[in-house]
Structure 1
Amino acid sequence: MVNRKCDSGLACDMDEFWVFGYGSLMWNPGFEFLERVEALVHGYRRSLCVRSFVHRGTRDNPGLVLGLDRGGACRGMAFRISAHKWDEVIDYLRARELVTNVYLERRVRLQFAGGRRTEAVTYIADRDHEQYAGTLDALAAARVVNEARGQSGPNDAYVFNTLAHLRQMGIRDPWLEQVGNEVERLRAG
């Protein structure tokens, strides 16, 4: 068993090192991994619950980006990391995910096909952070997404790109699909 830093610098004992991705991390991890496996986490759901003030919106007209929020379940990708790369990967993820501290680093229980379970590090939305948008219905989220644009482009491109990647991986997200459908309806007038 190896003792490594996780959960905001606290040590944790893990035999295996896993990272759970639910958004762009699934198709663009940016780190070296040994294995990538589809996994399910219970107790959290993928949601457009984080206001984007820079990349997909502005302070005056914030966009929405994904966060892992309480409730439900989320299918995503788990990455197994070699023990000697763990500290490097965690440092990279903290630099990538904790820029504005809207996400909290947490350990979650993952379930793989066949029932195997393990723990992984992931980043969940901080409900007390000013960027937390709360729980929105699909139409309310679509209205925000349809109007917002930031340094990285229009907010709707982010949503459609996410949906395309999810489809390529064979992962369905009915709520996010509904948001995409509502954005298309708004565009059509």
Structure 2
Amino acid sequence: MDALTALHNRVSTGKLTEPAPTEQQRKNIFLAALRAADHACLRPWRFLLVEGEGRERLGGIFLKAAEQAEGAALTEAQRQRTKAMPLRAPLIIVAITRLQEHPKVPHLEQHMSTAGAVQAMLTAAYAEGIGAYWRTGPLAGNPLVAEGLGLANNERIAGFIYCGTPDKAPRQAPDLAVDEFFSYWGAH
């Protein structure tokens, strides 16, 4: 698939199953992340791969964090759903921003660089025929999840990228009118 086709048609794919991306597909997805815009070449991102039994361990971390956040008021159904979240896909990529002090690159820009890396991975996954979607939510900002994943004090979770084989063909990207989002400012 050529780059413009992937960029113009990429959509998130929520229903994912085995198998996970192959080693070659992963390499292509990972290389795409490393081309994100990156002021001062800080490379303010890193990624954890969670698969196999690691997904169940991550589910345990999610459950512990959710119980603490909710004051242990979760119903049994909520407990089971929270614990099963990482089982939605055979591979989860945890995107992490490593915040660094830099006189010309504020933390916000470092977060945006990580977001650019995630978007590049999503587009590369689409081009490879891999289903993928990006999730954040309260667990991404939960200190117990960060601790359970071994994050340093200067690291923040940018999101969980779920990857796998699409359960069905991806939906068609919506046809948006470019002129509703782009306009000229000043003289042209």
TM bin, normalised by shorter chain, reads under 0.3
- TM (normalized to structure 1)? 0.27
- TM (normalized to structure 2)? 0.27
Q: Which has the higher helix share?
A: 2
Larger radius of gyration: 2
